[in-house]
A and B are shown apart, each in its own frame.
Chain A
């Protein structure tokens, strides 16, 4: 069975500081991995995805993520956070056809 763990429920960073959100997955083969962002009252928006190839993937809004097979991780990073990045972030793994498993989410608060 596939699963995703986001160890941090809530993270607070200062505007302009760097950000790293952690994601660990469990899946027997090479997974498809995703990061989504959800602003209050909205649906989820895809930030980036990893299918194969280069383990460092670039996404929208200046985000990137690195796939590390040895650590079963897919952490999301941003070098300089903006106040508009405050939202909830979900990591997801897709393996079995038609089924993405989502983590519980990490809420990001940005301090001015």
Chain B
């Protein structure tokens, strides 16, 4: 596969469940990002990783927990979510933090019931 892939593409979970979103990039990039995209709201940057180290955490609730085991993989662990967390979660990567050009995955559509 090429580019940035995300799994699953769709996820429905209850508020007491624990699930994880996975992102993988095949571009040899060193920076990876999680964004939240809700209807009628601008794109929200959640987390930024550079060389597997978290460099930004934009006041995201602790029920979202990122993990970056290597520069190709990024996870978003979810637990005890709220209905307002329902959104499209987008992963992106860039060659480095200094490269503003980002490559996005197709997203995971999350519904919290």
Chain A interface residues toward B at CB < 8 A: 32, 34, 36, 41-46, 49, 90, 92, 94, 97-100, 102-105
Give the chain A neighbours of B98 by CB distance below 8 A: 97-98
* Residues B97 and A43 in contact, CB atoms below 8 Å apart: no
Chain B interface residues toward A at CB < 8 A: 4, 6, 31, 42-43, 45, 48, 50, 55-56, 90, 92, 97-98, 100-107, 109
Q: Tell me whether A98 and B43 are in contact in the complex, defined as CB-CB below 8 angstroms, given that A42-B107, A44-B104, A45-B104 are known contacts.
A: no
* Residues B106 and A98 in contact, CB atoms below 8 Å apart: no
CA A45 – CA B103 in complex, angstroms?
Answer: 7
In the complex, which of the residues A41, A42, A90, A94 contacts B100, with contact meaning CB atoms closer than 8 Å?
A94
In the complex, which of the residues A32, A34, A104 contacts B42, with contact meaning CB atoms closer than 8 Å?
A104
Give the chain B neighbours of A43 by CB distance below 8 A: 4, 6, 90, 92, 104-107
